[in-house]
């Protein structure tokens, strides 16, 4: 290397040293970034694309535009306050004839029935009988098949479902619907399902998070006070549940908590309760909270332990030596220093809780299930994927809102996983 002046250092051959260093640094960064490309692609394909697909399903409404194009065209300029034109009756008749020939009328009936119960029978019956009608007037022919064709609700529904995008799935997720006049109203109390489930999911997740803090904090503090060898040994016990199947752990709670399980048998044996008055500890909210607290407890202990390990014991001793009571010194000095661990563990446990499925499904019964169980029901049994996607999108949005609230009140920068 040769130097011509303090400002312009050059390499042998006359190359600028600063430029060479910048090029080398840029290559090093590009090399490091290229190592993360497989992970970025994995996250993109298996996380962001499914999220986008879920959101798309929650607003997409392709059934009626695809299988009833003539009806969509005939109702394009129709206003529900005016009589239904004969062209619309003719379009429905033509579309249902084609749908019956293509065996697609079941999809039309299913989609309309999701929004207006009773439409399944109406569409099926009309598709079967309209094929025998060769000419109009189509209004009289359809009303002869079913009087519902002479009323506005079915036409308002067809008009609303003619759009390629819809908010109907979100309305159903919030226990809302369109009334006979086409206005958005709340469903009757006895027919509300999802909002109570959302509320139950959030408050039970909050209780589970609080219990993990109350149980995990003393344990993490005790682990940090032990010698390293003993602490590491006990930490293996904390991690042991991760090496055991979640299904096995949840099933073990069924063995413990059921009517003739271990706990009830011990209580009866100790004459604390009678054999006819066994406690109902499972297939309810209590069973869900107990099992999920045990399952999620390590997610609280690990961040707490990592943060507590970084706090010097001299801080507490200094406070006590200056005259503070040990409890006051702990509360005023030690506890604030562990807030990053509490925040990280609490956020992790709460967000995991609101999306939990297996444990509430196995031990929750009817009163201990979460909104995630209803999402699975709509995917696997009712096959209403749009509603399931809307519920999933709302749940994802709720988790994001809770994170933003936490960031606003506490600060995401204070969250520490160790």
Count of CB atoms situated within 10 Å of the CB of 81: 7
Q: Residue 357 pairs with which residues in a beta bridge? A: none
Instruction: Note the pLDDT of residue 244.
Output: 84
CB < 8 Å & 24+ apart, contacts of 390-397: 390/58, 390/169, 390/170, 390/172, 390/173, 391/173, 391/194, 392/54, 392/58, 393/54, 393/55, 393/58, 394/170, 394/173, 394/174, 394/198, 395/198, 395/354, 395/355, 395/371, 396/51, 396/54
Contact of 302 with 242, CB cutoff 8 Å: no
- The CATH number of 193-410 is 1.10.3720.10
pLDDT at 23: 87
The domains of the chain are located at 62-163, 193-410
Q: pLDDT value at position 323?
A: 87
CA distances from 42 to 9, 32, 189, 396 (A): 44, 17, 44, 20
10-residue mean pLDDT profile of the chain (418 residues): values are 55 74 90 92 92 93 93 91 91 93 91 89 91 85 92 91 92 89 87 93 95 95 90 86 85 90 92 89 92 93 91 89 90 90 90 90 88 92 91 92 80 58
Say what the pLDDT of residue 304 is: 92
């Amino acid at each position: 290397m040769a130097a011509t002046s303090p400002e312009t250092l050059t390499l042998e051959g006359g190359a600028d040293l600063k430029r060479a260093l910048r090029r080398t640094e840029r290559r090093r960064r590009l090399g490091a970034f290229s190592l993360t490309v497989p992970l970025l692609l994995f996250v993109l394909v298996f996380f962001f694309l499914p999220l986008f697909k879920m959101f798309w399903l929650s607003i997409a409404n392709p059934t009626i535009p695809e299988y009833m194009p003539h009806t969509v065209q005939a109702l394009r300029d129709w206003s529900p306050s005016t009589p239904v034109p004969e062209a619309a009756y003719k379009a429905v008749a033509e579309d249902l004839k084609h749908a019956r020939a293509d065996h697609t009328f079941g999809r039309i009936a299913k989609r309309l029935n999701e929004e207006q119960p009773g439409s399944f029978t109406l569409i099926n019956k009309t598709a079967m009988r309209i094929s025998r009608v060769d000419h109009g007037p189509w209004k009289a022919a359809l009303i002869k098949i079913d009087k519902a064709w002479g009323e506005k609700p079915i036409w308002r529904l067809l008009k609303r479902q003619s759009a390629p995008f819809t908010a109907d799935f979100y309305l159903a997720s919030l226990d809302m619907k369109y009334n006979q006049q086409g206005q958005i109203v709340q469903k009757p109390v006895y027919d509300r399902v999802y909002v109570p489930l959302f509320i139950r999911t959030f408050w039970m997740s909050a209780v589970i998070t609080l219990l993990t803090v109350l149980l995990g904090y003393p344990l993490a503090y005790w682990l940090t006070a032990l010698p390293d060898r003993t602490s590491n040994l006990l930490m293996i016990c904390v991690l042991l549940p991760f090496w055991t199947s979640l299904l096995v752990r949840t099933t073990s709670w069924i063995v413990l908590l059921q009517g003739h399980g271990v706990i009830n048998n011990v209580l009866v044996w100790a004459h604390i309760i009678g054999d006819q008055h066994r406690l109902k500890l499972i297939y309810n909210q209590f069973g869900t909270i107990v099992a999920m607290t045990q399952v999620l407890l390590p997610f609280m202990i690990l961040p707490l332990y990592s943060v507590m390990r970084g706090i010097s014991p001299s801080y507490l001793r200094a406070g006590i030596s200056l005259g503070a009571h040990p409890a006051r010194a702990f509360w005023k000095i030690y506890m604030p220093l562990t807030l990053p661990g509490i925040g990280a563990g609490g956020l992790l446990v709460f967000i995991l809780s609101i999306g939990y499925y297996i444990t509430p499904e196995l031990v929750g019964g009817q009163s201990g299930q979460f909104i995630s169980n209803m999402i699975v029901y709509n995917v696997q049994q009712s096959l209403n994927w749009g509603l399931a996607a809307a519920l999933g999108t709302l749940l994802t949005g709720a988790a994001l809102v809770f994170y933003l609230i936490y960031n606003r009140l506490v600060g995401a920068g204070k969250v520490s996983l160790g």
